[in-house]
Amino acid sequence: QKEVEQNSGPLSVPEGAIASLNCTYSDRGSQSFFWYRQYSGKSPELIMFIYSNGDKEDGRFTAQLNKASQYVSLLIRDSQPSDSATYLCAVNSLSSGSARQLTFGSGTQLTVLP
Amino acid sequence: DGGITQSPKYLFRKEGQNVTLSCEQNLNHDAMYWYRQDPGQGLRLIYYSQIVNDFQKGDIAEGYSVSREKKESFPLTVTSAQKNPTAFYLCASSASNSGGSRDTQYFGPGTRLTVL
């Protein structure tokens, strides 16, 4: 059973601070990793993906991947109230044959306080 | 506009009734997926399809059925055998399902199903 674990939160940070969201996964064969943002009542929207160990930056967002530790994180710099949402970590790994499946964590609820 | 559409936005089902949720994409994506989301939980895979006329069961396929007769369309039927169907249903698509950035999944707006 492939598992993706996230702290459910809620995580509260003041406006302008750095929010750090963490995710661990159980399948060492996992090859690609995704962060989605989901506002209440809405569908998930992609923030970024990462495949290689290290950091990947996109604007205020930085994804960090450490395959040896089976750990992926998302940093949000200069957090804004509009960043308040649930953040879903998703891990893509080979399921059977050539088919791949995304396994989602349960999400971390982030609140940015004005 | 390229994207994924789902209809209806809200759906109410009576006990013993089958209902079909629509999912259409004009992104020219090969792979399509159906997920279910319950309150406070992540997404769970119901069915997926890598190519027209082919689909595979996901983790929670019991009580659901799908078809993939056209590349653009992947409807989901919630049958009366699904005992607890009240949930938020999300359709997604990706360019491919064989590795790399083309695996990135994009989601439709979702259908909220309630059993009366």
User: In terms of C-beta density within 10 A (0-12 exposed, 13-18 middle, 19 or more buried), how is residue A49 classed?
Assistant: buried
At residue A81, does pLDDT exceed 70? yes
Instruction: Report in angstroms the alpha-carbon separations of B97 from A80, A82, B37, B116.
Output: 34, 32, 22, 37
* Candidates B42, B97, B101; nearest CB to A100: B97
Q: What angle do CA A69, A27, A10 make, to 5 degrees?
A: 70
Is residue B25 within 8 A of residue B109, CB to CB? The reply is: no
Residue % of chain A over a pLDDT of 90: 77
Determine the Cα–Cα distance for residues A93 and A50; give it in Å rounded to an integer: 13
The residues pairing with A63 across neighbouring beta strands, listed in sequence order, are: A56, A74
Query: Which residues on chain A are in Cβ contact (under 8 Å) with B103?
Result: 32, 92, 100
* Candidates B43, B97, B108; nearest CB to A99: B97
Determine the Cα–Cα distance for residues B78 and B16; give it in Å rounded to an integer: 10
Quick check: B100 contacting A, CB < 8 Å? yes
Q: Is the peptide bond before A81 cis (omega within 30 degrees of 0)?
A: no
At residue A97, does pLDDT exceed 60? no
At residue A65, does pLDDT exceed 90? yes
At residue A98, does pLDDT exceed 60? no
pLDDT, residue B16, reads 86
pLDDT, residue A92, reads 86
Q: Report the 3 state secondary structure along chain B.
A: CCCEEEECCEEEECCCCCEEEEEEECCCCCEEEEEEECCCCCEEEEEEEEECCEEEECCCCCCEEECCCECCECCEEECCCCCCCCEEEEEEEECCCCCCHHHCCEECCCEEEEEC
Determine the Cα–Cα distance for residues A44 and B42; give it in Å rounded to an integer: 10
Is residue A90 within 8 A of residue A4, CB to CB? The reply is: yes
* pLDDT band per the 50, 70, 90 thresholds, residue A95: low
At residue B96, does pLDDT exceed 70? yes
Write out pLDDT tens, residues B21-74.
999 999 999 999 999 999 878 899 999 999 999 999 998 999 999 999 999 999
Write out pLDDT tens, residues A17-49.
999 999 999 988 888 999 999 999 999 999 999
* Candidates B44, B50, B107; nearest CB to A99: B50
* pLDDT band per the 50, 70, 90 thresholds, residue A57: very high
Partner-chain contact B43 A46, CB within 8 Å? no
Instruction: Report in angstroms the alpha-carbon separations of B52 from A101, B49, B67, B101.
Output: 18, 7, 9, 21
Query: Which residues on chain A are in Cβ contact (under 8 Å) with B48?
Result: 99, 101
Dihedral sign, Cα of residue A80, residue B90, residue B27, residue A92? positive
